[in-house]
Amino acid sequence: MQQDIEVQERQIENLEQFIQRAHKYEDLQELTPYALRELVKAIYIEAPGKSSGKRRQNIRISNPVEELMKQETA
């Protein structure tokens, strides 16, 4: 149980750090490479498919918090 509590505390700390970084960019007018590196961990683009005759392509944007949460629970 103590280990679970420590993992949750690290997750909260990671989330708070990300929130602090995100606050720096509240009035972001242009996505700079620096801001992109701080706010986005990865962008995943799936191969396009056709559904109902329409082209569909899924895109998933992963932020650093998601990656930190996965590391903490692994």
pLDDT digits (tens, 9 = 90+) for 7-60: 888 888 888 888 888 888 888 888 888 888 888 888 899 988 877 788 888 998
Q: How many domains does the chain have?
A: 1
Provide φ and ψ at 55, rounded to 5°.
-75, 135
The DSSP result for 9-74, as a single string, is HHHHHHHHHHHHHHHTTTT--S--HHHHHHH-SEEEEPPPEEETTEEE--EEEE-HHHHHHHHHH-
The boundaries of the domain holding residue 25 are 2-73
Q: Which pTM value belongs to this model?
A: 0.55
Return left, alpha or beta for 57; rule: phi > 0 is left, psi -120 to 50 is alpha, else beta: beta
Residue-averaged pLDDT of the chain? 82
Provide φ and ψ at 53, rounded to 5°.
80, 5
